[in-house]
Structure 1
Amino acid sequence: MTKTIIITFILSGLAFNAQAYIGPGIGLGTLGIIGGLLLSVVLTIFAVFWYPIKKFIRKVKKNSEKEKSLNKNKKGDLWDKLTNLNIILLCSFIAYQVGALKQAGQFESIKSVMTGYADMHFVDEITTWTDQPEKVHNGYYVTCPSIPHENIAIAYLLNNNGEIAHEWKFDFNTLRNTKEYDEYLTLRNHSKKESFRPDCTDAHLMPNGDLIMTVRENHYTYGVFDYGIIVRLDKDSNIKWQLLGMFHHESELNDEGFLIATSSKLRDTFPLVDRTDKNKIQFIDMIVNIIDIDKGLILSSHSVTDAYFNSHYQNMLTTSYANKGHMLNRIKNGLDYYNGLHLNDVVYVEERHAQKWPLLNVGDILLSHRDISTISVLRPSEDKIIYARRGPWRSQHHIKLTDDAKITMFDNEGSVAIYDDKENKKSQVINTARVMEYDPQTDKSRIIYSGNLKSATRGSYTIFDDGSLTVTSREQSTILQVDSDGNIIWELRGLKERNTTNPYYKKFITTRFYTNDYADTASWLTETSTETK
């Protein structure tokens, strides 16, 4: 029994630490508990019936009385061993689950360190502050927060004091019983009666108060195969038009008034990838769509997968970083999909860009791929990729082209920080985010802002003429403005935990800035209740 206690402590400690420092969270811990209980039941049944089975075998073989006597002793020995093993397994699995809670707490402490502020700054209301109000840019921010409301997606208009000046709402229930949505539910094996928590993943403000919003149904499957729509709402949230499909992530308005948007669809084959089981694998094709924002019509669509295959950059179709779990996901009853490109942003090439970068033509589209950490250029007129580059960035989002044809981006995992975990007396290396600029013609890059950012997904920014910028960090639920030296001018913090009495819930997904000259709010903005329902 002493050995059992010692082994139990050792294995429980290992299980606790494995979950606390390696385990991804509560899910596996729960499975561990269930698995441990089932295994214990099996071992108990085995222990109960083992002796009669053994006795029967010995009787058939006509063993001696001495052997039978030994078997009786072995019965007790085996029972003790299996009982001890049950104790060890149960304690280990329970410790593994407790480790899950420890791991969750550790993530919060890491997040606190990376923000540079203690958790006490997260309160039961939105936190804003500034010591330099004269440096705050006058204008409005349209932001898309995650919210704790079923079936409703919301976008907010914030003034430069961080106050909600207006809101737009889209009710996801309006999609129910449409043909396209029914087909999607069948594919994903979802019930029509399910409630959803849709997210506004991007939004563009029109001068008259209309909002073009991308809304994604949040049955999360790594971002590119949840049902998403693009909808145009007037200032009172009435629907002007909506496009149903697999739209996701960010979109871009060009100077001519067209919307460039990303979407995805399933296909049966994927260039350069062998299929070992044709009945259980399908492939995600990333699509670039050009949309008329007045009528809500798709003018043209272009397969990014085929564009790579038609180019000198075919190797990008089978290139990904180490986490291949992002590439293969289960969607329904044993059907998996392969996501090799994960397109997350697009930028339309205007005349001013083409004049500075001779490779480009007006109408080309700059692409950002998260999982292959690649920036490329699609030429829609030829349906081919004419440029692709992997550089000193990783998992980037929110790419832009400056007027002198340099590429800026939210580099989600391109930087590294050492986190000193004093509680557990060890240091950890974690990836951190930054805003950076890359010159494709000279192959030179520079860091614009590296601050204390931690956002493995999404993130956005706006760079102003004076060198200051606003940055949105999704995982930290923070919108901040910093000067050209990286000093914080203004900051808005969301909540640490879910709070149904507050319009924000933990994460700002993306934010866009609009000047007072662009957003003629005096002509349409009215006092709006900000109470969420």
Structure 2
Amino acid sequence: MPDTRQYEESNTTNTGDRLFLTASVIGIAAISFGLGAFVVLAEVPPYQSLKNAWRAGTALWEQRTKYTDVERLDFWSPARTDQTGVTIHDQDKAQNGLTLYSSGDGPHAVLIDMDGNIVHEWRMPFSAIHDETSPIPNPQKDEFMHWHTAKMAPDGNLIVQYTAAGDTPYGYGMAKIDRNSKPIWKYLGTAHHDFSIADDGRVYALTQEFRFNTYPNRKQLRPPRLDDFAVILSPDGKEIKRVSILDALINSNYANMVDFAPYFANEDILHTNTIQLIDDKTAANFAYGKAGDVVLSFRDLGIIAVLDMDAEKITWATRGPWLGQHDPDVLPNGEILLFDNQGQFADPDAGFSRILQIDPRTNAITWQYKGNADQKFDSNIRADQQRLANGNTLITESSGGRLLEVTDSGEIVWEFHNPIRRDDPDNPGKKLVPVVSQAERISDARADLFRSTAPASNTGTSNAGEAQ
């Protein structure tokens, strides 16, 4: 007869071992959870390393899954109209000239006449200038980029800034290109959003990078943090000056302004979207900055500021009746013209955007343009404007893919709709239009140069390209 006592003892031992092992695993898990909770709540090492790894992994997953189709990038918006090209042109009231704009459908810019005919076009992908010196080792595909800003230099050549979707930093750099879209120089610092060209050919630009420094008494500014810099480039594209904008603000009398940032902005605290050089002409009547200073716009803080590039300090800053603003321009009379993206609440049917002219001494609104139920005006992000020589204002309504010129009384005397269209993959039967981030009217000798040498194949091509 088998000895069952040995079997029972063995079975009891195995059960006990399993219970002990289970209890040990549960105990280790509980201890690990407790330690993890302590590390996270107390923010002790290796809290930051774990947080950084999690954020990097999340960003990579989002890039691989969300940014797969060009039409799903935020460079495209639902088309509000079937109209394309120039739809309004009052020859007696509009400022004659050529209009330069860049479009969200790729790294290119178009120069059109007042009837929408293509006078010239530039195209150059980022892959044509990228090399091992770039801080972006694995850039996005060319079709996932566009020229956020393209401006004509005094010599008639073009300076452009590359912006990518689904990457951080999203500013990829700048280049100066000739009429044949060949690079004259390239700057592979992480330039983003905007730049300003001085009469002597120097370029004032914005760059961004991750920083890991901390500031006393401002624990909300946790590293890693995407910080902005103001840089000066020589006429041949070499960096000759670089100033940390956040340091310049923290070390100024306006440091407390950073404490009122919205919760979502602490990792990109300033989100600087504009840099305008104050020259002798604009400095003459502007009490808050001198020639050589730059005007900056901090979108999420709602701040317009002046940075002294020599002292590396913010010398003036203000907030006003605007929300998510872009492109504050100091006018010759000392007032400031800006695009108020989301601050028009009085009439939602008219859109939430407006153009404001502000007296900086009082923040009083001295002029404004806003839409109406028939001409909705709305661009929640991006956009800019330009005060023209005849007193009209050229406006870039980015999200609508529209350019419009308005008089002092608010009459639209010229209007252009980006003609490019694509099918909306998420809404069958609907169309998308690429954003127009920035535009400028060229009415000086540079316009005459392009008119006199425009290729015959381009003249007479209406509506700036074919709708797609």
- Scaled to the shorter chain, the TM-score interval is 0.7 to 0.9
* Distance change in 2, residues 1:495/1:165 (3 Å): closer
Aligned position for 1:444: 364
* Distance change in 2, residues 1:157/1:457 (3 Å): same
1:356 paired to 2:285:
yes
1:292 paired to 2:268:
no
The answer (yes or no) to whether the contact 2:129–2:186 under 8 Å persists in 1 is: no
Aligned position for 1:511: 439
CA deviation map 1:316-337 (0-9, x unaligned)? 233224xx33x26xxxxxxxxx
Aligned position for 2:377: 453
Instruction: Choose between structure 1 and 2: higher helix proportion.
Output: 1
CA deviation map 1:212-235 (0-9, x unaligned)? 1111122255xxx21421101100
1:172 paired to 2:126:
yes
3-state SS of the aligned residue for 2:381? coil
**Residue type matched to 1:206 in 2?**
A
TM-score calculated relative to the size of structure 2: 0.73
The answer (yes or no) to whether the contact 2:154–2:201 under 8 Å persists in 1 is: no
3-state SS of the aligned residue for 1:414? coil
Residue 257 of structure 1 deviates from its aligned partner by 2.6
3-state SS of the aligned residue for 1:432? coil
3-state SS of the aligned residue for 2:445? coil
After superposition, residues 14-93 of structure 1 pair within 5 angstroms as: none
Instruction: Tell me the distance in 1 between the aligned counterparts of 2:465 and 2:390.
Output: 36
Instruction: Tell me the distance in 2 between the aligned counterparts of 1:473 and 1:195.
Output: 24
3-state SS of the aligned residue for 1:518? helix
**Residue type matched to 2:148 in 1?**
T
The answer (yes or no) to whether the contact 1:305–1:317 under 8 Å persists in 2 is: no
Match of 1:261 among 184, 193, 205: 205
Instruction: Tell me the distance in 1 between the aligned counterparts of 2:78 and 2:166.
Output: 25
Aligned position for 1:309: 250
Instruction: Tell me the distance in 2 between the aligned counterparts of 1:367 and 1:129.
Output: 34
**Residue type matched to 1:228 in 2?**
Y
**Residue type matched to 2:136 in 1?**
Y
Paired residues, number:
373
RMSD between aligned residues: 2.9
Aligned position for 1:402: 331
Match of 1:274 among 219, 238, 261: 219
Aligned position for 1:334: none
The answer (yes or no) to whether the contact 1:270–1:283 under 8 Å persists in 2 is: no
Aligned position for 2:82: 122
* Distance change in 2, residues 1:312/1:164 (3 Å): same
* Distance change in 2, residues 1:195/1:375 (3 Å): closer
Residue 405 of structure 1 deviates from its aligned partner by 1.6
Aligned position for 1:382: 311
Instruction: Tell me the distance in 2 between the aligned counterparts of 1:193 and 1:316.
Output: 35
3-state SS of the aligned residue for 1:133? coil
* Distance change in 2, residues 1:360/1:258 (3 Å): same
**Residue type matched to 1:414 in 2?**
G
The answer (yes or no) to whether the contact 1:412–1:434 under 8 Å persists in 2 is: yes
* Distance change in 2, residues 1:396/1:232 (3 Å): same
**Residue type matched to 1:264 in 2?**
Q
3-state SS of the aligned residue for 2:415? strand
Residue 251 of structure 1 deviates from its aligned partner by 0.9
Q: Percent same amino acid at aligned positions? A: 23
1:252 paired to 2:196:
yes
3-state SS of the aligned residue for 1:344? strand
Residue 445 of structure 1 deviates from its aligned partner by 2.1
Residue 285 of structure 1 deviates from its aligned partner by 1.8
Match of 1:203 among 134, 146, 150: 150
The answer (yes or no) to whether the contact 2:232–2:239 under 8 Å persists in 1 is: yes
Residue 357 of structure 1 deviates from its aligned partner by 3.1
Aligned position for 1:159: 113
Residue 347 of structure 1 deviates from its aligned partner by 1.4
The answer (yes or no) to whether the contact 1:417–1:431 under 8 Å persists in 2 is: no
After superposing the two structures, state which structure 1 stretch, 400-409 or 446-455, moved more: 446-455
* Distance change in 2, residues 1:373/1:419 (3 Å): closer
Aligned position for 1:133: 91
TM-score calculated relative to the size of structure 1: 0.64
Match of 1:216 among 158, 163, 182: 163
* Distance change in 2, residues 1:528/1:461 (3 Å): farther
3-state SS of the aligned residue for 1:184? coil
CA deviation map 1:376-418 (0-9, x unaligned)? 1111111111111011111111111111221111111121155
After superposition, residues 397-476 of structure 1 pair within 5 angstroms as: 397-419=326-348, 432-451=352-371, 452-476=376-400
CA deviation map 1:298-345 (0-9, x unaligned)? 121111111012111111233224xx33x26xxxxxxxxx11111110
Unaligned runs of 5+ in 1: 1-109, 113-118, 329-337, 421-429
Aligned position for 2:187: 243
Instruction: Tell me the distance in 2 between the aligned counterparts of 1:253 and 1:408.
Output: 18
